[in-house]
Copies of this chain bind each other. A is one copy, B any other.
């Protein structure tokens, strides 16, 4: 059952998906449903012996294309609606042990094409107001399947964070400003102290008011609303700088083999407010120190008021200082050298639905 209910006190839809209680929970590696199907083995989600990148609909979706109208009509204050939308899973590799940070640049370049394809397809659906492309990585983030994968949620509404951002962007423009997110990027470039890396087309920075213990944003230099609108040069450089960021994230904490993280693409909503949005990646971790998590307790979860234990300038300095070549100081698999990963061709993308 996929249902939406309106919270009149916070002006938000809340989505209900009670069948998700039964979702597959940390199965042993030999029963991974995201691995290729081995000859004579149990059938996984992918009926092939090998694959490069695979996309399919989530079996336990938060939103479903065929969600029915709720039985209860709700009330005037709390109307209900069907939770109509699409949730997809994107498998990054058929290697259960792989991670994006240890992938080749070429694989990430292919992944960008997949993202653009899925954005175009899902964003054009009538019931979809917003497409969110993201990865939850690590058990500390709540990942229930370890196989390397990301997700795409096509929401039937503009999510609360984006709705707030669009309200702010509109007010900023009405007050004589430019595109709010472009102005934020320009301010970070002027300040300089929180810049992590800069290319010809992209800049990564720790935002001045970062709220997570480790947080970095990656924004294109050109005003681009979504991944599908990136040109070839921007996509090429993105593969390089995103891989570099992921490698730095994995080596951020001494003694932590891989940083648990959430990485999500903030895109413009697909409707009339599209010109107010601007593409950027938000990569963040709840790890505040080795073995210590930042919990969203009373202040954050009860009041929405973030208390942050780290200083954005220090985080940027540390991310700049991480060495991604040579031996790792801490344990963990070494990063694969760029381009030497076998078996991945730019045209090898497999999309299964």
Contact = CB atoms under 8 A, between A and B. Distances in A.
Nearest to A155: B305
Contacts of A350: none
Interface string A286-325: 0011001111111101111111111110000000000000
Contacts of A183: 77
Contact of A309 (B17, B136, B298): B17
Interface in A181-218: 181, 183-184, 187, 190-191, 207-211
Interface in A11-25: 11-18, 20-21, 25
B151 A12 contact: no
Interface residues of A, number: 82
A264 B210 contact: no
Given A15-B307, A161-B305, 4 more contacts: A75-B187, A77-B184, A160-B304, A161-B303
B8 A184 contact: yes
Interface stretch (A41-49, A164-172, A341-349): A164-172
Interface in A27-57: none
Nearest to A20: B309
B302 A262 contact: yes
A281 B207 CA distance: 34
A141 interface: yes
Given A20-B309, A74-B208, A164 B303 contact: no
Contacts of A299: 62, 132, 134, 153, 159
A181 B7 CA distance: 12
Given A18-B310, A289-B21, A299-B62, A304 B159 contact: yes
B308 A15 contact: yes
A162 interface: yes
Interface string A84-108: 0000000000000000000000000
B303 A210 contact: no
A47 B16 CA distance: 50
11 contacts: A10-B164, A11-B168, A14-B209, A16-B307, A16-B311, A74-B208, A75-B190, A77-B208, A159-B305, A161-B304, A266-B302
A212 to B, nearest CB: 8
A242 to B, nearest CB: 16
Contacts of A159: 299, 303-305
A282 interface: yes
Contacts of A266: 302
B165 A9 contact: yes
Contact of A172 (B8, B21, B165, B307): B8
Nearest to A72: B313
A307 B14 CA distance: 6
A288 B293 CA distance: 20
Most buried by B among A190, A208, A282: A208
Contacts of A155: 303, 305
A172 B142 CA distance: 37
Contacts of A7: 207, 209, 211
A77 B16 CA distance: 36
B14 A160 contact: no
A184 B78 CA distance: 9
